[in-house]
Amino acid sequence: MVAARSEGPGGRARIIVLGKQGSGKGTQAEYLAEVYGVPHVSTGDAFRAAVKAGSELGRLAQSYMDRGDLVPDDIVMGVLREHLFGPGAPEGFILDGVPRTLAQAEALEQMASPRGIDVVVELEVPTAEVLRRLSARRVCTTCGTNYNLAFNPPKAPGRCDVCGGQLVQRDDDTEEAIRRRLELYESSTAPLVSWYRDRGKLVSVDGDGPPEEVAERLVAAIDAARARAT
Ligand code: AMP
């Protein structure tokens, strides 16, 4: 495992993690948040929490999520504006699952100015591998912790290690919704890779392999990119 960076809690790193569903970006983003001492911000987690809480935001987001469709840009950006750029918001963050469209990337660029985003990492994983991972993915209905039956199984079958809650497949991990989300990744999110590359922000990292090895590659690539930028 990689040691936490000197910034410690309250760090300033601003990092975006891009990758297909099932590329491991949630797991890696959580880990990067610890390393760099900044919050892990996942719009998918925010929407799932809103659905569970039965809030207005949850009601708005749920139908899109169940179909595997993207939640409209204005709703997504409203959530980000409130969490990341409102009063008392953190200086640094790891963004996971956002931006997903060019309009979101452009809006984020404006909100994050003048400092902007430090690095955008693209986790590269072949589609056959993400399909294998998604079918083995389980989530705790109580605390939201993620597991994978293939490489990160719970200690007791069907039970969360953290809180003992029940593990289930996500509602949007049906075969049809997965296909739809992968199509949308190709059409809406993959173009962001060249968008960020053109702005000198992108690093690509091989996301295939054991999570600890991917994490080491990620941190090395991010540290190198941040050092180049200073
Ligand atoms: P995720 O956990 O990142 O796979 O997100 C789950 C679902 O939440 C997605 O399939 C979308 O319906 C919705 N969602 C999350 N983030 C975004 C975003 N940035 N833009 C649009 N929809 C999103």
Which pLDDT does position 25 carry in this prediction?
A: 93
Q: How far apart are CA 198 and CA 216, in angstroms?
A: 25
Could you identify the residue written with the tokens 């309009």? 103
Which of 43, 64, 83 best tests ligand 1's pocket when mutated (most atoms within 8 Å of CB)?
A: 43
Tokens of 182: 């992968």
The response to whether residue 47 sits with its C-beta less than 6 Å from ligand 1 reads yes
Closest CA to 121 of 13, 37, 47, 44: 13
Q: What is the pLDDT of residues 109-140, one digit of tens each?
A: 999 999 899 999 999 999 889 988 888 999 99
For the ranges 25-29, 69-73, 78-82, the lowest mean pLDDT is seen at: 78-82
Residue nearest to atom 12 of ligand 1 (CA): 65
In this prediction, residues 155-182 reach a mean pLDDT of 91
pTM of the model: 0.87
Q: Mean pLDDT in the chain?
A: 90
Q: Cα of 184 to ligand 1 centre, how many Å? A: 11
Closest CA to 205 of 230, 225, 185: 225
Closest CA to 94 of 150, 25, 145: 25
Residue nearest to atom 6 of ligand 1 (CA): 44
Which of 70, 96, 172 best tests ligand 1's pocket when mutated (most atoms within 8 Å of CB)?
A: 70
Question: Could you give the domains of the chain?
Answer: 14-39+90-229 (3.40.50.300)
Which pLDDT does position 39 carry in this prediction?
A: 92
